[in-house]
Amino acid sequence: MTGHAERSAKVALVTGAASGIGRATAGRLARDGSDVAVADINTDGARETAAMIQAAGRTARCYACDMSSREAVTAMADAVLSDFGRVDVLVNNAGTGDSNSGLDDIDEPLWDRIYAINVRNPFFLVQRISRDMIEKKTAGCIVNIASTEGKTNRGGSLVYSSSKAAMISLTQGLAMQLAPYGIRVNAVCPGLIDTPIWHRSDKNFGMEPGETVQMVVQSSIESLQLKIPRAGKPEEIAAAVAFLCSADASYMTGQAINVCGGLEYH
């Protein structure tokens, strides 16, 4: 951790930035000129992400935060605002799943945990950060990482998919509520992206890391759903986030953009 944000740089807060899409997004926003607050429950990974950003010459600070706790999220947001002075870009990326839970495997603790991490506390984070954006007249930009599973629930991850649909719905409502303050809110819906989020399924199936996503990619190619015949890369999601946060997307709000190799059309 080094330094304080330069006044001229934008400040981006990325949750779940220790790994996968969050790390790629934090790195991309830094390359595009932002200082970055890196929040994650995985503090070692968050430190690595911050070190990568610092090595590229920008300011980055790490915040240990369990998104399942509203108190932890509020404390993290307060610390980021105190350290950086403001937040211009919030990327609600941290997420967790219930891969391969059958109907009868789903109990209240699983339901509550997934909804807390994927929907409830990302909402309270937006509430806290947008209040500050409004006070400081920041023309802020919020990007929620949803999923193509939020557009079509294929039944493989019942609770996860419904939580991502809720995230898309929240994105639309927040876009409406925050538009009068010049704050844009959009979502990115990744398809099959090769990241560690698949590793729990690898373990469950007794497979090597990365094998499950390749298996799902292969079956999606065979069923003609996946038009670009490979898994996506975290950097391809980061590019869409960077676009939504740029002036080039100045007329876009309330959208949920698929980045999925053609897996989903709607």
174 contacts 133 by C-beta, under 8 angstroms: no
Is 73 or 183 the residue whose CB approaches ligand NAD more closely? 73
Known active-site residue 251: no
Least gap, CB of 227 to ligand NAD (angstroms): 16
Q: How far is residue 200 CA from its own chain's centroid?
A: 19
CB atoms within 10 A of CB 223: 8
Residues for the chain: how many in total? Answer: 266
Strand partners, 39: 15, 63
Residue 141 pairs with which residues in a beta bridge? Answer: 89, 184
Instruction: Supply the minimum distance, in Å, between the C-beta of residue 174 and ligand NAD.
Output: 17
Least distance to ligand NAD, CB of residue 138, Å: 24
How distant is the alpha carbon of residue 105 from its chain centre?
A: 26
Q: Which residues bind to ligand NAD, rule: CB under 6 A?
A: 16, 18-22, 40-42, 45, 65-68, 93-96, 117, 145, 147, 190, 192-193, 195-197
How far is 79 from 137, CA to CA, in rounded Å? Answer: 20
DSSP 96-112: ---TT--GGG--HHHHH
Q: Shortest approach of ligand NAD to residue 20 CB, angstroms?
A: 2
55 Cβ partners below 8 Å, 6+ apart?
Answer: none
Largest CA distance in the chain: 53
Of 94 and 138, the one with the shorter C-beta distance to ligand NAD is 94
Judged by CB, which is closer to ligand NAD: 101, or 195? Answer: 195
8 A C-beta contact, residue 13 and residue 87: yes
The two tokens of residue 61 are: 């600070």
Which among 115, 160, 181, 265 is annotated as catalytic? 160
Q: Which is nearer to ligand NAD, 141 or 146 (CB)?
A: 146
Closer to ligand NAD by Cβ: residue 65 or 245: 65
Among 19, 1, 157, which Cα is nearest to 83's?
1
Min dist CB 12 to ligand NAD, Å, is 15
Q: Which residues are catalytic?
A: 160
